[in-house]
């Protein structure tokens, strides 16, 4: 039996419990009798001759929407002493996140079981990971060159431009056939040619939603959450005001999930969120995939329970 789990995440007081997927995981693990501890990446440290250690808080869930956890104690603990460690820090994938993955990888060398695997987190930046699976993606360009972006726009006429380190729909621009403000958008996103960005052909199917497909242990959850933009918006992200509607996977959704799932799971990615618009894969999310609660509430399919089952199986205690 999995006895204890450390969750490495953003500050607990920032969780919005009615929709937070990390909270859903913790609630399900606690229901199964798993002891929970939490810390932030800044609480990880290593000293030569010693294992990677974190200053953690042992917590107990209260069952309340507010004041949802109670701290039972605080202590330094080697990560290898936990049955599993969940890395659930939200993006952006900045330098500090990168350093945290190296600390976690050292803990892994010392015997800690960490999900998603630290090296896999580094190897699958959430937008650039798409390059490996380009046959499922829309026409896409990754560059910092204004000339290349202008040529891409001339070819496809209606495009989406977005930063590689964005999340929640922040920094996403659409430029239509008239090219209005293309130069300003390029200058802003590339910082005058110093920052690489992603450009994709605009997909009109965004009106039916940007679908989040969850892979757990390489297997797709049978429902996606279609995040439908508000009128006049091109971003379906819930953080940008999108409306989440759970729906069964389409045949194309299933094909994409089945094509990517086993390969990603074999690399230590226990949980992955695929973003699909219409027939096309647009992003591969590995840092802190969400939508557990929305899918469960609308369909009755318990995503957190499936995740807990997969976690137990991954650590060899299922």
For residue 174, being part of any structural domain is answered with yes
Domain count, the chain: 3
Q: Are 8 and 95 members of one domain?
A: yes
Domain boundary among 202, 221, 255: 202
For residue 235, being part of any structural domain is answered with yes
Domain of 97: which CATH number?
3.40.50.20
User: SS3 of 314, please?
Assistant: helix
For residue 195, being part of any structural domain is answered with yes
CB 65 within 8 A of CB 93: no
Q: Are 27 and 57 members of one domain?
A: yes
For residue 173, being part of any structural domain is answered with yes
Could you tell me the residue range of the domain that residue 275 belongs to? 205-300
Q: Are 157 and 248 members of one domain?
A: no
Q: Are 89 and 160 members of one domain?
A: no
Q: Are 14 and 105 members of one domain?
A: yes
Q: How far is it, in rounded angstroms, from Cα 145 to Cα 226?
A: 33
- Segments in 110-240 forming alpha helices (H): 118-123, 146-156, 182-190
CB 273 within 8 A of CB 128: no
Domain boundary among 116, 149, 184: 116
Q: How far is it, in rounded angstroms, from Cα 61 to Cα 63?
A: 6
**pLDDT score for 165:** 85
Q: Are 270 and 238 members of one domain?
A: yes
Domain boundary among 202, 228, 247: 202
For residue 231, being part of any structural domain is answered with yes
User: SS3 of 86, please?
Assistant: strand
For residue 132, being part of any structural domain is answered with no
Closest to 103 in 3D by CA, of 49, 42, 165: 42
Q: Are 24 and 106 members of one domain?
A: yes
Q: Are 55 and 96 members of one domain?
A: yes
User: SS3 of 214, please?
Assistant: strand
Q: Are 226 and 191 members of one domain?
A: no
**DSSP per-residue codes, 96-128:** HHHHHHHHHHHHHHTT--EES-HHHHHH--TTG
For residue 129, being part of any structural domain is answered with no
**pLDDT score for 1:** 81
Q: Are 31 and 98 members of one domain?
A: yes
For residue 306, being part of any structural domain is answered with no
**pLDDT score for 126:** 85
Q: Are 225 and 255 members of one domain?
A: yes
The CA distances from residue 83 to 1, 36, 37, 126, in Å, are: 9, 10, 11, 27
The CA distances from residue 10 to 20, 63, 68, 281, in Å, are: 12, 20, 15, 28
Q: Are 233 and 293 members of one domain?
A: yes
Per-residue tens of pLDDT for the chain, all 318 residues: 899 999 999 999 999 999 999 999 999 999 999 999 999 999 999 999 999 999 999 999 999 988 999 999 999 999 999 999 999 999 888 899 999 999 999 999 999 999 999 999 999 988 999 999 999 999 999 999 999 999 999 999 999 999 998 776 788 999 999 999 999 999 999 999 999 999 999 999 999 999 999 999 999 999 999 999 877 666 666 665 678 999 999 999 999 999 999 999 999 999 999 999 999 999 999 999 999 999 999 999 999 999 999 999 999 854
Other Cβ atoms less than 10 A from the Cβ of 187: the count is 12
Return the active site residues.
127, 162, 212, 227, 235, 275, 283, 285
Burial 8-46 (b: 16+ CB within 10 A, else e): bbbebeebebebbbbbbbbbbbbeeebbbbbbbbebbee
pTM of the predicted protein model:
0.94
Domain of 198: which CATH number?
3.30.1490.20
- How far is C-alpha 25 from the geometric centre of its chain's CA atoms? 14
Domain of 211: which CATH number?
3.30.470.20
Other Cβ atoms less than 10 A from the Cβ of 65: the count is 9
């Amino acid at each position: 039996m999995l006895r204890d789990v450390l969750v490495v995440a953003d500050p607990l007081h920032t969780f919005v419990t009615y929709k937070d997927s990390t909270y859903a995981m913790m609630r399900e693990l606690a229901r199964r009798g798993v002891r929970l501890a939490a810390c932030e990446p800044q609480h990880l440290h290593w000293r030569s001759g010693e294992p990677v250690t974190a200053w953690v808080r042992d917590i107990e869930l209260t069952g309340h929407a507010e004041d949802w956890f109670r701290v039972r104690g605080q202590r330094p603990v080697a990560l290898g002493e936990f049955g599993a460690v969940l890395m659930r820090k939200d993006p952006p994938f900045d330098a500090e996140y990168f350093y945290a993955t190296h600390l976690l990888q050292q803990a892994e060398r010392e015997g800690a079981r960490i999900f998603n695997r630290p090296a896999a987190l580094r190897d699958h930046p959430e937008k650039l990971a798409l390059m490996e699976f380009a046959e499922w993606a829309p026409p896409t360009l990754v560059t910092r060159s204004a000339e290349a972006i202008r040529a891409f726009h001339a070819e496809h006429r209606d495009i989406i431009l977005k930063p590689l380190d964005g999340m929640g729909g922040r920094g996403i621009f659409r430029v239509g056939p008239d090219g209005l403000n293309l130069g300003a958008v390029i200058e802003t996103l590339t910082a005058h040619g110093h920052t690489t960005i992603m450009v994709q052909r605009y997909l009109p199917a965004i009106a039916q939603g940007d679908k989040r497909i969850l892979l757990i242990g390489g297997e797709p959850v049978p429902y996606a959450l279609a995040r439908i933009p508000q009128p006049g918006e091109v971003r379906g992200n819930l953080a940008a005001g999108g409306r989440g509607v759970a729906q069964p996977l389409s045949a194309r959704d299933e094909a994409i999930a089945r094509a990517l799932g086993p390969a990603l799971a074999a690399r230590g990615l226990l949980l992955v969120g695929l973003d699909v618009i219409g027939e096309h894969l647009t992003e591969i999310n590995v840092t802190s995939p969400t939508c557990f609660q929305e899918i469960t509430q609308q369909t009755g399919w318990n995503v957190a329970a499936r995740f807990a089952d997969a976690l137990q199986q991954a650590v060899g205690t299922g």
